[in-house]
Chain A
Amino acid sequence: MAQFVQAVVLGVLIGGIYALMASGLTLIFGVLRIVNIAQGAFLILVATFTWWLWRTTGIDPILSAVITAPLMFGLGWVLYRFVVRRISGQAASMSVLLTFGIALVIEGFLNVVAGNKFRSATPAYFEQSFRVGDILLPKAQVYGFLAAVVVLGGLYLLLTRTWAGRAIRATSQNPSAAALVGIGATATAALAFALGSASAGVGGSILSVLYPFFPASHYDWISRLLGIVVLGGMGSLPGALVGALVLGLAETLTATYGSLQWSTLVFYLVIMAVLLVRPQGLFGARLREDVA
Chain B
Amino acid sequence: MLNYKKLVKFLGFKLGTLMILLMAVSVISFILIEISPTDPVRIYVGEMSISQEKLNDLNEYWGVNQSLYVKVVNWLDNLAHGNLGISLIYRIPVTEVISERFSASFMLMFLSWIFSGVLGFFLGVLAGFKRGTFIDKGVKIYSYVIYAAPVFWIAMILLMIFSVELGWFPSGLAVPIGKVSGSVTLLEWLHRLVLPVLTLSITGIAQIALFTRSKLIEVSSSDYFLFAKARGEKGWSLIKRHGIRNILLPAITLQFLSFSELFGGTVLVEQVFSYPGLGQAAVTAGTQSDIPLLLGIVLVSTIFVFCGNSIADLLYKFVDPRIRESEANDF
Do chains A and B interact in one complex? no
